[in-house]
Structure 1
Amino acid sequence: MNASSQSKPTLLVGLLTLIALGLLVWIFFLPTWWVSLTAPNYPEEAFPDGVRIEFHMNGVFNGCEKVEKEEISESVALDCVHEMDTINHYVGMYPIAAGGPVERGFSQFLLTFLGVMLLGFMCTRPKIRMAILVVGFAGIAVWMYLTIYGENGFYLENEGYVNALVTSLDQEASGEEGSGEESGGGGIVALLRQSLEESGIKVEVPSEQKQESGAEKSAMSEKERLIEQLKQNYERDRQKGMVDEPWNGSTYQIMAWHYGKSLGRYFNNPKEIVPMVKNLKLAINVVFAGLLVAMALLIFGARRNGGLLYWLLVLVPMALPVFFVIDYSAWLWWYGHTLNSMGAFTVKPFMPTVFGDGKVAQFATHSYPDVGFGVMVLMSLVLAVAALIRRKQFKQGGGS
């Protein structure tokens, strides 16, 4: 083949892969799946979509919107994540935040990992491909270590994930304080303060201290403020003796604490919760080590064009919709088969509806793909075309 005929498929594969990379980034910010519960006690007028939640790659978020009607007045939309948790706990189901904690915590690394794989797939020169993978994976490894295990590494997590952790604990996402404090700068108080300061005595007025504190909070970013809320919650638990370690701000510490707190939200049974938290810690370490091993294998496989390890660079990202459905189904099975005996009602273990409509007691359940899943499928189709072109290119000897 001449150089011109070799470059055409290379450019086409590169263009398709870049499109797939753009879709991969978009997926992170889109709802992937939605679930809704409807029942007679949740009338359509007040709950047009039922009690709805939306699954993103980095968390589960409220799917209910503010209802604006003459007969209904809402200042904010109902928190349907909390509402569904409340409904589910009556039959012994754990809160939504108890599902997929590792997947959500590692989501930003996993998608970036897939992105680096696609960059490696684009390249037909093994040496350049290896360089791309080495640099990309090394960056992810350092970022991942600092985030998961580093002090204050939680600040390196994405804001959506932090927000999901805060709201799952029923903490408000807004922390504005009232401005009704009286100033200590007028009347007799002002004269007394002036007299004391002239005598060399420093005076601190409580209202001014609160104003300064409020100013400091307003200077924080949204993510910093959310993390501060989690820290305050953690410190309260530490004062109560519920946790032993002082706050270090690592994602590892926060994930374990938050998971235990979520499990014990309705069913405070330490004999069951403590082993589950230990399993979570083990899972975090295993996933971290597993990703490092996967990086090493892919770098090793990048030495030549073709071979299983090379094709994994495109096959794994292509299979993202399949991985999502498998993971989603597995966690639904876990919810339906890990029922706590402290629930108000006793039901037999069951498999919640993965796709379509179902029924549990008086509730109708609805579970369907959202726009993010559609983008996943589109990305897979684009990558499938790119893979076929690359396969034909290698067969014709244009990949070396």
Structure 2
Amino acid sequence: MKSMSQKQIISSVLVLVAVALLYPIYNAPIWWVSLEAPNYPEEAFPDGVRILFHVNGVFNGCVKQAKTEITEDEALDCVHEMDTINHYVGMYPIASGGPVELFFSLFLVTLVAVMLVAFACVRPKIRMIIMLVGFSGLAIWMGMAYYGANGLKLHSERYLEGRITVLGETSEEMDAEEDTQQAESAGDALIARLRAALDEEPAEEEAAPAPAAEPEIKHGLPVLEKGKEKNIAYLKDAYLQYRADQDNSLADWTGSGSQVLAWHYQKSLGKYFRDPEVLKPMVAKIRTAGAVVFWGLIVIMIVLVVFARKPEGFWNWLLVLIPAGLPVFFAIEYAVWLWWYGHNMNDMGAFTLKAFMPTAFGQGKVAQFTTNSYPEYGFWLMVLFSALLLVSALLRRKPSENDDPDEI
């Protein structure tokens, strides 16, 4: 048996560097979106109402202003602000987009890492061990996190923070009457501006105004305390409160990923639009989608172990070419969910718009709002990740004369 050639070594090193990039990719903002309008002057909102899309959640993109004429104790919660703006036209909250993908993103990243480490290894026996151990551990971990009691403890802290952020709530009590009055005042002003901007468009039948948001919880930046236990406790309290509001129709708290995914989705959909006949089928679809993705990943791991155990042939190249498509897959996923938002608007919005495709890339215009949608640095990390893998595959594709054909 000959030692690895220089090309094989370089190829494997490039793959391992790409694997190391998966950690910052998982935690970095991948895309940003902002809304600009007269309601949000540039002096106070230099970036508009800005949110950041990660592979594990959606987070606030607004920063605290430190100007002599502007005093802020904390940055504006732009996730909740954008939800508030969007719900007037019947759009569902941001948290209703991609809940299954967000939950399984941690396990998908781990799956990709195991695939790439296996590809980097050119010895069949060692590759087989890597895949058996890696995929078995991943399957057990994923199963305990998704279906097991207290499965949230096995997920990432960043994912838990994202689930809290998109709820747009804090556990601090507030004066319900004052908050309701402020919300109505701001809402009336925004509706008036939007109506004025749409005066030239064909009028459509006005739907009933959306119900006011629940007053017992303050809408603002969540207090994200460090530590999984505190974030899980927060989610548990929110679940139990929601369960009480639903006349205890939900199951007892188990803390499993599947339970939290379905409840969180249901709560997000009903944040402004409380129509059980519309929401129940949507929640049922998400439950089914979660189960399909879970078992689909199990099947994929089994197939890879069976067919990609040797460093040659079609299945071998799938180990590197599928991960190399990461930035393309993200862009498609992002665009599909934007389409869903624009084509699945609830009839309970304050007024209606025709179905539309929100701007996926670049600058667009919706009523009085200018929308911006561009990659963040995390997307360019994905591009670098993809480039490293493609170069690695190219090096492996063209063996030198000193390569051992049994090892390539």
TM-score interval for Structure 1 and Structure 2 normalised by the shorter chain: 0.7 to 0.9
- Match of residue 236 from structure 2: 231
AA at the equivalent of 1:345 = F
Offset at residue 394 of structure 1 (A): 8.3
1:371 and 2:377 equivalent? yes
AA at the equivalent of 2:241 = R
Query: How is 1:177-188 mapped onto 2 (pairs within 5 angstroms)?
Result: none
1:362 and 2:360 equivalent? no
Offset at residue 166 of structure 1 (A): 1.3
Offset at residue 221 of structure 1 (A): 5.4
- Match of residue 213 from structure 2: none
CA contact (8 A) 2:363 2:370 kept: yes
CA contact (8 A) 1:93 1:338 kept: yes
Per-residue CA deviation, residues 125-169 of structure 1 (Å, 9 max, x unaligned), is 112111101100011100000000000011111111111111222
CA contact (8 A) 2:56 2:103 kept: yes
- Match of residue 197 from structure 2: none
Per-residue CA deviation, residues 274-318 of structure 1 (Å, 9 max, x unaligned), is 111111110010000100110011111223222221111001110
AA at the equivalent of 1:254 = V
Query: How is 1:49-128 mapped onto 2 (pairs within 5 angstroms)?
Result: 49-128=47-126
1:22 and 2:20 equivalent? yes
Offset at residue 225 of structure 1 (A): 1.0
Query: How is 1:142-161 mapped onto 2 (pairs within 5 angstroms)?
Result: 142-161=140-159
1:310 and 2:325 equivalent? no
Mapped partners of 1:33, 1:394: distance in 2: 40
The RMSD of aligned alpha carbons is 1.7
Mapped partners of 2:136, 2:172: distance in 1: 37
Q: What SS is found at the alignment partner of 1:60?
A: strand
Mapped partners of 1:48, 1:257: distance in 2: 35
Per-residue CA deviation, residues 98-141 of structure 1 (Å, 9 max, x unaligned), is 00001100111000100000001001111211110110001110
Larger radius of gyration: 1
- For normalisation by structure 2, the TM-score amounts to 0.84
CA contact (8 A) 2:127 2:310 kept: no
- Match of residue 249 from structure 1: 255
AA at the equivalent of 2:98 = G
Offset at residue 14 of structure 1 (A): 1.4
Mapped partners of 2:236, 2:112: distance in 1: 32
Range 95-104 or range 221-230, more displaced: 221-230
Mapped partners of 1:393, 1:137: distance in 2: 29
Mapped partners of 2:25, 2:123: distance in 1: 29
Q: What SS is found at the alignment partner of 1:67?
A: coil
Mapped partners of 1:374, 1:147: distance in 2: 30
CA contact (8 A) 1:37 1:365 kept: yes
Q: What SS is found at the alignment partner of 1:36?
A: strand
- Match of residue 357 from structure 2: 351
- For normalisation by structure 1, the TM-score amounts to 0.85
Range 325-334 or range 303-312, more displaced: 303-312
CA contact (8 A) 1:166 1:173 kept: no
- Match of residue 288 from structure 2: 282
1:222 and 2:220 equivalent? no
Identity %: 55
AA at the equivalent of 1:291 = L
Offset at residue 172 of structure 1 (A): 2.7
Distance 1:394 1:268, change over 3 A: farther
Mapped partners of 1:235, 1:394: distance in 2: 63
Per-residue CA deviation, residues 312-351 of structure 1 (Å, 9 max, x unaligned), is 1001110000100010000000000001000011100000
- Match of residue 339 from structure 1: 345
CA contact (8 A) 1:167 1:173 kept: no
Per-residue CA deviation, residues 172-220 of structure 1 (Å, 9 max, x unaligned), is 3899xxxxxxxxxxxxxxxxxxxxxxxxxxxxxxxxxxxxxxxxxxxx9
1:326 and 2:322 equivalent? no
Q: What SS is found at the alignment partner of 1:72?
A: coil
Distance 1:152 1:119, change over 3 A: same
Mapped partners of 1:119, 1:319: distance in 2: 17
Mapped partners of 1:60, 1:243: distance in 2: 29
CA contact (8 A) 2:273 2:346 kept: yes
CA contact (8 A) 1:263 1:273 kept: yes
Mapped partners of 2:110, 2:72: distance in 1: 39
Mapped partners of 2:132, 2:88: distance in 1: 50
Per-residue CA deviation, residues 4-45 of structure 1 (Å, 9 max, x unaligned), is 6x4212211111011101112210111000000001110110
Range 238-247 or range 165-174, more displaced: 165-174
